[in-house]
Structures are given as structure tokens and as C-alpha cells.
Structure 1
Amino acid sequence: MHEKSKTEALWRFGGYGFLIAAALFMIVPIYWIVIASTLPQSAILSSSGALPQLLPGGHFVENFQALQSRQYVNFMSSVWNSIFIAIVYTVLALILCSMAGFAFAKYEFRFKKSIFAGILATLIIPVNLLVIPLFLVMSTANMTNTYAAVILPWAAYPVGIFFMRQSMQAIPDALLESARMDGASEFQLFYRVAIPSMRSSMAALAVILFLFQWNMFLWPLVVLDTDKFTIPVAITKIMGQQVVAFDQLMVASAVAILPMFVVFLALQKYFVRGILSGAVKE
């Protein structure tokens, strides 16, 4: 019994050690970006061989003002564009994915399995192959350089539909039948029965959708002009100059990371619960 406890303790120690090392591996680069955003460029590019500075400096405001003075990109406009697009996209995609997931989980209709398989099959198509056809569609509809052009093509996100379908299957059919007997319409079953019981799953999906749209680069680069650039595109414009201003680049990267942390921290208590909610099916 003693040997078993010792073995379990060693395994637990190794597991926690691995998790701590993995967390540090991911956190240290983010921490360095935040620290570097407060340093002058000379400190960032120092080649004296000394260890990099690990404490914040006092140049964040100067770096931010220099970033804002750039003529080729309005960074704060890019921040607003990214926030607006990500929030609107997340709300719209949550509505569409939850409705589709409810239909695939709780209704029987012709070609149901084939349609669902077709939706999942789109996941294997590289985004690069879709750029030209989507651009031609948006150009024909006179929607280029609009927020809608970035939001609409990905609103019915296949991963979101699959995730909500798996989660909706956990809703007991008896609960829906009881609501039907009480006179609830099919739409009332969705927003009064299914949605309240799927809050954790929808919160988890909201994090996934927000990060997906926030980090999107290629499609906004193709379909948007300078005045509507998102943060990833604006950052590439900073990197694409002949002389890269690393102090300004670090400020832009730190600002880009902040909303992702805010969204995840706000919904973290629902995230794991929502991810696992579809793992057990009645």
C-alpha cells in the first residue's frame, strides 16, 4: 500500500511539473511582449549579451504615441474594427450555430445525415482555396471593404454547429415533449428550454468564435481597405516596413492580446464545463 501511494505521488508530481513547465512555456513570451512594450527600442534590440529586462520600463506612452502617429495605418481604428467585428460575429454565429445544432440534435428530416456530413466536410477545405471565390461573391454583391464581408462568410461556423449539436443531444427528449404538451411552439422549445440549459456550452463556444474571428488574417487582408483593417493586418503592416519599429510592434501586440484575456477570464468558469457538457449523452 505504501509503494502504491509513493508511485501515485511521483506520478502526480511529474504531472504537475509538466503542467507548470507548459504554462511557463506559454506565459513567458506573452510576459516578454508586455514588458517590451514599455521599453525603448534600444533596450529591446540590445546586443550586449546581458539578460533581457524582466521589469516594466516607462516608455509605454511614448511607444503608443509613436504607433498612433504612423501614417500608413491607424492602429486605434484597427482596434475598434476588430472589437466590433469579433463581437457582432460572435453573437450572430452563436445564434446560427445553436439553431442548427438544435435542429440536427432533436429533429428528423430528409438527408439529415448527409447535410451534417457535408457541413463537417467543409472543415478539410483550406481557407486559401476559398479566398478567391468569396472575394468574387463579395465583389459582385458590392460588399467589399465592409464589416459584413468579414462577418457573413463564416457566420455558420462548422465547428460551432458540430459543438452545439453534440451539446444539444444531452437535453432529454422527455423535457421537450413535456413543453410541447404545455403548448410551447417549436421556437419556444429552442429559446425557452434548450438555450437556458446550454448556457455553459454557449459560453465556451463564444470564446472559440471570438478568438477565431479576432485572429483571422488572410480574409480581412484581401477584402478590407486600410480604413477598416483589423489588428492582425495592422500588425503585419508595421512589420512590413523597411525599418521595423519593434517598440511599437510590441505595443500593438500587447494591445492585441488584452481582449483575448478579458474574454477568456470573463467566461473561464463556463469554458471547461461547456466543453465537457456534450461528452455524456443520455
Structure 2
Amino acid sequence: MHEKLEKEALWQFGGYGFLVAVTMVMMFPIYWVVVASTLPQSAIFAGGAGELPRLIPGSNFLTNAEALAARPEVDFYRSMLNSLVIAVVYTGLALLFCSMGGFALAKYDFKYKRALFMGILGTLLLPTNLLVIPLFLLVSNMGLSNSYWAVILPWAAYPLGIFFMKQAMQSIPDSLLEAARMDGASEFQLYYRVVLPSMKSSLAALAVILFLFQWNLFLWPLVVLREGKYTIPVAISKIMSNDMIAYDQLMVASAMAIVPMFVVFILLQRHFVNGILGGAVKE
């Protein structure tokens, strides 16, 4: 019995050690970007081929950040504000549409419901590049080009979000909804007062997914936005488009782009895990 416990403890220790090692390997590029953002350009690639990069932070972060702000081809900090506004508004709007769509598909029976759901899932198979031209023509005809709404609206009813909320809302007992109806609740009150409070973890998990999706979106903002409205990924691409890339400034920009994603994930981490488990496929 004692030997069995020791063997189990050894396997558990080895498993945790393996997970820690994998985590360190995955986090190392992020750590190096943060360290490189504090170094002058001459020190970033000071080592020769085959040598480890410098892993100790320097003191040049503010200098690099000031040089980044002075770049004439792109206003990086304005781009960061643009990304923040777009991502926050998009996340709120997409949560509304996805939760409503998921509620309808999970708790209502109507004609062609299955066909509609299959159509929504089918859009997940389409590459984003295939949608650029028709969406651009649609946005142009609506007069929304070079605006925040041009980036927000085309992805507001996110198919993956609708699928996720449908699967999560299937866990709500029908008897709970019927009891609320008997108490005189309208369909909107069912959604607002019964369904949404029961879905807090799933909504938080979806909020993380939606925020990261919009924050990292590159091709569509590049197509519909112009200078002054650029988002973070487009601004970083402009920094990299010069013949002589200022890697110190590029690393500062990359490090700053990472921060909001970490903040959102850390704040919603517990809800994210619970929501992912709650939104797992049940069919």
C-alpha cells in the first residue's frame, strides 16, 4: 500500500513538473518580448548565432516608448485607444446578440430551426479572407467605411459565440422557464431576469473569447480603416513595414499589446474555466 502511494505521488509530481516545463516554454517568448522592450536595439541581438538572448531587463523602456510615440507613419497610442474602444464595444454588443441567438436556438421550437443552426455552424468553415470582399462592399454601401462600426458590426453575431451560448443554455431546466411564465414573466423578462443571471460564467468565458478575437483581428481593420483609426495589429504591421525595423520600438509595441489581454484573462480566469466547462457540448 505504501509503495502504491509513493508511486502515485511520483507520477503526480512528474505530471506537475511536465506541466510547469511546458508552461515555461510557452511563456518564454512573451517574457523575452517584455525584456527586449526594456533594451536598446543594439542589445536585443547582441549575442551571436546560437547564443541565448539577453534575459535580464534593462532600463530603456521609457526611451523606447517615447521613440515609438514620435514615429511619423503611425500614432501607436491612438491605435491602442482605438483597439480598446472597438474591443469593449464589440464584446458588449456580441454578448447581447450571441446570448439572444443561443437562447432562441436552445429553448424555442420553430420551423427550420435545425437548418438555421447548421447554417450558423457552416459559416465557421468559411475562411475569413473569403468574406472580406462581400463585407467590404456591404460596409461601403452603408457608408460605414473608416469607422469603428465598420469593424464592430460585421462580426457582432459571432457564430462560435452563438454555438457556445446555445450549448450552455441547454443546461437551464425548462421547468424553471415554465414557472417564470406562469408567474407572468414576458419572454424578454425570461431572458433578462432568469437566463442571463444563470449564465454568468458562460458569459464571462465568451467575453474573454470575443475580446481576444477583436483585439487580435488584423485583416479586416487593415481593409476598412485608414490612418488615425488603425487598431493595434495594423499599427504594429506599419512599424514592421519599413526597410529598417526598429526592433526596440517593435518590442515595446508588442509588450503593450499583450497587457490588456492578460488583464482581461486574469480578471475573468475563474469564470472562464467554469464557463468553458458549462458551455461544453451536451448533445
**Bin of the TM-score, shorter chain as denominator length:** over 0.9
- The alignment status of 1:18 with 2:24, answered yes or no, reads no
Unpaired runs of 5+ residues, structure 1, are: none
| Residue type of the alignment partner of 2:267 | A
- Provide the secondary structure at the position in 2 that maps to 1:193: helix
Aligned partner letter, 1:9: A
Contact (CA 8 Å) 2:97, 2:157: kept in 1 or not? Answer: yes
Match of 1:40 in 2: 40
Could you give the per-residue CA deviations for residues 199-225 of structure 1, whole angstroms, max 9, x where no partner exists?
A: 000000000000000000001011110
Equivalent residue number for residue 114 of structure 1: 115
1:61-80 correspondence runs (5 A): 61-80=62-81
**Within 2, Cα distance between the matches of 1:221 and 1:163?**
28
For residues 167 and 90 of structure 2, the distance between their equivalents in structure 1, rounded to whole angstroms, comes to 22
Distance 1:10 1:124 in 2: 44
For 1:94-109, list aligned pairs within 5 A. 94-109=95-110
Aligned-partner Cα distance in 2 for 1:134–1:178: 43
Deviation sequence 1:126-180 (CA, Å, 0-9, x none): 0011111111111122211111110011100011001000110111111111101
Q: Distance in 1 between matches of 2:160 and 2:282?
A: 19
Amino acid paired to 1:248: Q
Q: What is the aligned-residue identity percentage?
A: 66
CA RMSD, Structure 1 to Structure 2 (Å): 1.5
Residue type at the aligned position of 1:218? L
CA shift in 2, pair 1:56/1:47, >3 Å = closer
Contact between 2:47 and 2:53, CA under 8 Å: does it hold in 1? Answer: no
Q: Which residue identity is paired with 2:31? A: Y
Greater displacement, 103-112 / 49-58: 49-58
Compute the displacement of 1:14 (Å).
Answer: 3.0
- Cα deviations by residue, 1:76-101 (Å, 9 ceiling, x for unpaired): 01000000000000000000000010
Judging changes above 3 Å, is the alpha-carbon distance between structure 1 residues 5 and 280 closer, same or farther for their aligned structure 2 residues?
farther
Mapped to 2, the partners of 1:47 and 1:31 lie a distance apart of 17
* Structure 2 residue aligned with 1:239: 240
Counterpart for residue 249 of structure 2: 248
TM-score of the aligned structures, taking structure 2 as reference length: 0.96
Greater displacement, 83-92 / 53-62 = 53-62
Task: Give, in whole Å, the separation in 2 of the partners of 1:219 and 1:2.
Answer: 61
Secondary structure of the structure 1 residue equivalent to 2:80: helix
Question: Is the 1:201–1:277 Cα contact (8 Å) retained in structure 2?
Answer: yes
Please say if 1:151 is aligned against 2:152: yes
What is the alpha-carbon distance in structure 1 between the residues aligned to residue 164 and residue 4 of structure 2? 39
- After the TM superposition, which of the residue ranges 52-61 and 181-190 deviates more from structure 2? 52-61
Residues 20-70 of structure 1, C-alpha deviations (whole Å, 9 max, x = no match): 111101111111111111110000021356643222211111100100110
Residue identity matched to 1:195: L
Deviation at 1:281, TM superposition (A): 5.6
Q: Measure the CA separation in 2 of the matches of 1:45 and 1:55.
A: 13
The answer (yes or no) to whether the contact 1:75–1:234 under 8 Å persists in 2 is yes
The residue type paired with residue 253 of structure 2 is: A
Q: Give 1:270 shift.
A: 0.5
Structure 1 residue 16: deviation in Å?
1.1
SS where residue 227 of structure 1 aligns?
A: coil
The alpha-carbon deviation at position 4 of structure 1 amounts to 3.7
How far residue 18 of structure 1 moved from its aligned partner, in angstroms, is 2.1
Provide the C-alpha distance between the structure 1 equivalents of 2:254 and 2:281, rounded to a whole number of angstroms: 39
**Structural mapping, 1:1-282, within 5 Å:** 1-48=1-48, 51-279=52-280
SS at match of 2:57: coil
